[in-house]
A and B are shown apart, each in its own frame.
Chain A
Amino acid sequence: MSIEYLGLSEINGPLIVLEGVQDAAFEEIVEITVEGKEKKLGRIVEIYDDKAVIQVFEGTENMSLKNTHTKLTGHPMEIALSTSMLGRTFNGIGQPIDRLGPVVSDVKRNINGLPLNPVTREYPRNYINTGISAIDGLTTLIRGQKLPIFSGNGLPHDQLAAQIVKQASLGENSDEEFAIVFAAMGVKYDVAEFFRRTFEESGVSEHVAMFLNLANDPVVERLITPKVALTLAEYLAFDKGMHILVILTDMTSFAEAMREVSSSKGEIPSRKGFPGYLYSELATIYERAGIVKGVNGSVTQIPILTMPNDDITHPIPDLTGYITEGQIVLDRVMHGQAIYPPINVLPSLSRLMKDGIGEGYTRADHQDVANQLFSSYAKVGQARALASVIGEDELSPIDKKYLKFGIAFEKEYVGQGPNENRTIEQTLDLGWKLLGLLPKEELDRIDTKILDKYYVAAE
């Protein structure tokens, strides 16, 4: 029988302080009973002697210094895991909220996970066909990659993520075991509902585990949600050999929750009030993607984050970009021109692309076409800047061609229907068609042989 501690010595936002505790361990989980009925979970985040600082997941409402019983559980945060969790819905700390009863399993894992040994990782090389040209052609998604979507409020990142899920999971490889783990942190009810409906409509609900921490749910829970979700993902991928796609939305809320807790702890802030360990914390989440040698499964992550004020240099997107293997950046101006998906390809990047495309994977000309499209589209920007100063009429003939190419590229290549699923050949051929708008000697990134084989000048 474990000891219960009566009362508290301090309550400060989501943190409580308990004095006179014995045998408490760092990061241990405690159970708190408020007024004999309401149960809450908490985690020890600091210990000094017999004084423990505890972070309460469900919020500290109704708690007073006298009405609580606290019990140490003797272990860090753990979650029971089972394949039967697919098709079910949980709250932010992994408790079922779909009234289907508790998860039955003897497998329990620490949600903090452990770092994967770089020696046992396998370098990801298999590409995922998402059917979206701007992604497949220019920022190819690789199985085992972590590729975030950098977005802003009001941009269609949810639709894009849903389209990726639909088209990637139902592609030619759909006979393989795939599943989706969806973690919502501080998102609106409508967003969670949108994803639920999309999964249902595309008939994948049975393969989805949803972890929902909505905007009005306790803030501290958010710190746990992605870890719980990734623990399940790792279990399914590396113990059960499944291919898991993890959607994490919205990482901005996660980071802001961390800032809130950090400031209640009275920690010294670094940039924009975020704690100094923001990078390490984000890394422990993003680095839980990958492939392990000798194991069938994989964990692919698509975190979504809304850039505050569309600022890509804000600490959250900035640090994320340094950890993830590329990024897909959505652009408000393109959205304003009714281009869907409004992907700004220039700052977008997939670091693993180079090893997963080309001969044997997609097509031999893939890398060259992608480089040329990037390079030519970068020149479109220069031509547009010049046109805004001297007027379009005064541009040199070649600059005018670039303007034409730019418009066609945005409308036809980047733009596509929300249900349009293009094959990689279609995407690459479309690239050649657009490059045909430019004279051959402008195409300086393509190997001469490939150029001769594919280049056809437009009329």
Chain B
Amino acid sequence: MTKTGIIYGINGPVVYLRGNTGFKMSEMVYVGKEKLVGEVINLTKDTTTIQVFEETTGIKPGEEVTATGDAISVTLGPGILNNIFDGIERPLGEIAKEGGAYINRGVSVDSLDTTKLWDVHITVSVGQEVNGGTIIAEVPETTAITHKSMVPPNVSGHILSVVTDGQYTITDTIAVVQLEDGTELNLSLAQKWPIRIPRPTLKRYPAAKPLVTGQRILDTLFPIAKGGTAAIPGGFGTGKTMTQHQIAKWSDADIIIYIGCGERGNEMTQVLEDFSELVDPKSGNPLMDRTTLIANTSNMPVAAREASIYTGITLAEYYRDMGYDVAIMADSTSRWAEALRELSGRLEEMPAEEGFPAYLASRLSAFYERAGMMENLNGTEGSVSIIGAVSPQGGDFSEPVTQNTKRFVRCFWGLDKSLAYARHFPAIHWLTSYSEYLGDLAPWYKDNVSTNFVDYRNQLLALLNQESSLMEIVKLIGSDVLPDEQKLVLEIAKVIRLGFLQQNAFHAEDTCVPMEKQCKMMEVILYLYSKSKALVTMGMPMSILKENNIFERVIAIKYDVANHELEKFDQYKKDIDNFYNKVLETNA
């Protein structure tokens, strides 16, 4: 017996039903004749409040709302990767096939293709005890990723029957489980999970491995761990989206979930085009094979924007449960917060700071806490890393979304307007950014890159900090009056900024740089510093040192030394030695 209610009020995406409908909180409902998808967000004895994930134009009081009995949830199964969905997991490709260029309302399409036959390899046998998370079948979902279908969490029993290896759709029953209470449950390749509830795990591991992104300022100065959280705040035009694209392209995660939340339509199109053409450097497969896009562009309904973040993280948790490292790009969490504000305003809730609802902080924390390196129910190890862009109003980091996000993330990559204006990209400012993971990751760097890595990194950052305080003086009196030792610091800091921190996303070699090269680059820069410093201490003026083009050559290392030609670095060290000797000879 399905429960129904009658509409009596409509205000934008919010619809009110009269009376005690018996609906449940977060239940998915169909609204009106067009069967628009909605969710129950408030219940009283007299009214039920629903947020509708589609435009409500044309809805009339008196129309009926039907409950589905289930919380708003997503379908999890093969076919998620290499696909693009809207905020409530409706495939945009299918919608385009049905409705043409525009997204019509009330479109009813299955989240995943139910007719496609998948090559299924069964991994359980009759009589076997299974629990939540037990892998029952493996499916090659894309060339890059093997999909592992699992027993849903909270289910345990033993296998009654199972099909043989072969081709099945996601709706076919592939195994029957007898639960402990004797009832039988049919399992298929797909399962459903409510988006607002985190998928359960056994335990959480501390951060130990970095998410290697190939971006020097991130990997070296402010690393994020696998299972970590990071925020990228920045005003418009500072390069949030660009940074997210770079991480999505080059990071060593197995799976990327890219959530375009309230952003530009053309950007999603660009990701779709680029990622289909680009090839993953590690596996040689198209990047889309490991990527899922969730597109809720700024002109799509606001309630679905709010849901898109949860849809994305639920998909991520599902792949984590298979034992994969998943990274989520949420671009942008501010649009999500604004969707909360918009809905809160429509509900006439009492606003807190800047009109945002008082529950903003708790929603943000609940979202970021779903990240982590976990031991899954089936014993595998997987991680969800969240990288959230923040679009602070007016580029002012003191606004509520940035401030509250800062409390719940451990990595902060602050984008800077003046760097962006000077076209220094990535415009991540080294003085405002931080990473709390450095200490956790130090052992990994020591074992896998170099024992000196963290030491080099700290020296680099110290030089940049010295530069910043020297610049205060230079701003007042010019650089000519500084002693040569300090002039050298400015010169080396310039080498670091131009040669190391600036990274050209459009350059074939420079767009993604392996850790070993990053380490060597630091080594050469610091070697140049120590040799020059020795010369300066002997009384050589900076003007003589600058006559040699070694500084420019070290800056150009990023272009001149290809990523696989690390042996060339020795030559640079020799050149620095020659430079040292030559200056000594000619000026002794």
Q: Which residues of A contact B (CB under 8 A)?
A: 23-28, 46-50, 76, 110, 112-124, 144, 238, 267-271, 275-277, 279-280, 283-284, 286-288, 290, 292-293, 295, 312-315, 318-319, 321-323, 325-327, 346-347, 349, 351-352, 354-355, 367, 371, 374-375, 378-379, 382, 385-386, 389-390, 394-396, 399, 441, 444-445, 447-448
Q: Which of B302, B393, B479 has a CB less than 8 Å from the CB of A271?
A: B393
Complex interface: stretch among B50-58, B151-159, B196-204, B367-375:
B50-58
Give A377 Cβ to nearest chain B Cβ, in Å: 8
Could you say which of A292, A349, A367, A378 contacts B422, with CB atoms under 8 Å apart? A378
A124, A276, A288, A295, most chain B CB atoms within 10 A: A276
- Please state if A24 and B297 are interface contacts (CB–CB under 8 Å): no
Do residues B58 and A25 form an inter-chain contact, with CB atoms below 8 A?
yes
Of A24, A119, A355, A399, the most chain B CB neighbours within 10 A belong to A119
Which one of B11, B348, B355, B422 contacts A269 once the chains associate, using CB atoms below 8 Å?
Answer: B355
From known contacts A118-B269, A315-B393, A347-B421, infer whether A112 and B55 are also in contact, taking CB-CB under 8 Å.
yes
A120 interface neighbour in B101, B395, B424, Cβ under 8 Å: B101
CA distance A251 to B521 in the complex (A): 49
Q: Is the CB of B477 within 8 A of A280?
A: no
A-B contact pairs, 6 of them (CB 8 A): A27-B58, A118-B92, A276-B341, A276-B355, A283-B297, A378-B423
Q: Is the CB of B298 within 8 A of A323?
A: yes
Closest to A285 in B: B299
A318/B236 in contact, CB under 8 A: yes
A120-B101, A390-B477 known; A287+B58 contact, CB < 8 A: no
CB contact under 8 A between A115 and B102, given known A271-B354, A279-B335, A287-B297:
yes
Tell me whether A46 and B10 are in contact (CB under 8 A): yes
Q: Is the beta-carbon distance between A313 and B506 smaller than 8 angstroms?
A: no
Interface size range of chain B in the complex: 35 or more
Q: Are A313 and B57 in contact (CB under 8 A)?
A: no
Smallest CB gap from A112: residue in B:
B57
Classify the interface of chain B: helix, strand, loop or mixed.
mixed
Question: Is B299 within 8 A of A284, CB to CB?
Answer: yes
Asked if B342 and A276 make an inter-chain contact with CB atoms under 8 angstroms apart, the answer reads yes
Contact B423 A371 (CB under 8 A): yes
- What separation, in Å, do the CA atoms of A279 and B345 have in the docked complex? 14
Q: Name A25's contact: one of B59, B92, B299, B346 (CB within 8 Å).
A: B59
From A24, A312, A375, give the contact of B61 (CB < 8 A). Answer: A24
With A46-B11, A325-B266 as contacts: A287 and B354 at CB distance below 8 Å: no
Q: Complex: how many Å from CA A216 to CA B567?
A: 73
Is the CB–CB distance between A270 and B101 below 8 Å? no
Whether the Cβ atoms of B351 and A26 lie closer than 8 Å is no
Question: What is the CB-to-nearest-CB distance from B273 to chain A, in angstroms, rounded to a whole number?
Answer: 5
Counting CB contacts under 8 A, is B123 at the interface? no
A191 to chain B, nearest CB (A): 27
Rounded to whole angstroms, the CA-CA distance of A327 and B420 in the bound complex is: 14
Does B483 count as interface, using CB distance less than 8 angstroms? no
Distance of A279 Cα from B349 Cα, bound (Å): 19
Give the residues in chain A near B92, CB-CB below 8 Å: 117-119
Q: Is B552 an interface residue (CB 8 A)?
A: yes
B401 lies within 8 A of chain A by Cβ: no
Instruction: Tell me the chain B residues, 82-124 only, with Cβ under 8 Å from chain A.
Output: 84, 92-93, 95-96, 99-104
Q: Give the residue of A113, A119, A322 whose beta carbon is less than 8 angstroms from that of B272.
A: A119
Q: Identify the closest chain B residue to A282 (Cβ).
A: B298
Given the known inter-chain contacts A120-B101, A375-B423, A444-B498, please indicate yes or no for A26 contacting B295, CB distance below 8 A: no
Q: Which A residues lie within 8 Å of B16 (CB)?
A: 48
Most buried by B among A48, A76, A117: A117
If A112-B57, A123-B269, A279-B298 touch, does A325 touch B476 (CB 8 Å cutoff)?
no
Give CA–CA (A458, B11) in the complex, Å. 65
B237 CB within 8 Å of chain A: yes
CB proximity to A under 8 Å, residues B335-354: 335, 338, 341-342, 344-346, 348-349, 351, 354
By a CB distance below 8 angstroms, the chain A residues around B100 are 120
User: Are A117 and B101 neighbours in the complex by a CB distance under 8 Å?
Assistant: yes
Measured between alpha carbons, how far is A288 from B418 in the docked complex, in Å? 31
- Choose among A110, A114, A319, A367 the residue that contacts B506 (Cβ–Cβ < 8 A): A367
Cβ–Cβ contact B300 & A115, under 8 A: yes
Shortest CB distance A338–B (Å):
24
Contact call B266/A280, Cβ cutoff below 8 A = no
B236, B302, B396: the one contacting A321 at CB < 8 Å is B236
The distance from the CB of A28 to the nearest CB of chain B, in whole angstroms, is: 7
A293–B266 Cα distance when bound, in Å, is: 12
Q: Which residues of B contact A325 (CB under 8 A)?
A: 264, 266
B407 at the interface (CB under 8 A from A): no
Q: Which of B57, B101, B424 has the most CB of A within 10 A?
A: B101
Would A47 and B9 count as touching, CB distance under 8 A?
yes
The answer to whether A287 and B345 have CB atoms under 8 Å apart is: no
Determine the distance from Cα of A284 to Cα of B57 in the docked complex, in whole angstroms. Answer: 14
- Residues of the A chain whose Cβ atoms lie less than 8 Å from the Cβ of B260: 118
Residues of A within 8 A of B341 (CB): 270, 276
Asked if B468 is at the interface (CB within 8 A of a chain A CB), the reply is: no
By Cβ-Cβ distance, the 5 closest A-B pairs, closest first, are A313-B394, A270-B355, A283-B298, A378-B422, A321-B236
Q: Which of B102, B351, B394, B475 contacts A116 (CB 8 A)?
A: B102
Q: How far is the CB of B122 from chain A (nearest CB, A)?
A: 34
For the complex, give the distance between the alpha carbons of A347 and B268 in Å: 24
**Is the CB–CB distance between A375 and B424 below 8 Å?**
yes
Asked if A121 and B266 sit within 8 Å, CB to CB, the answer is: yes
Contact B273 A119 (CB under 8 A): no
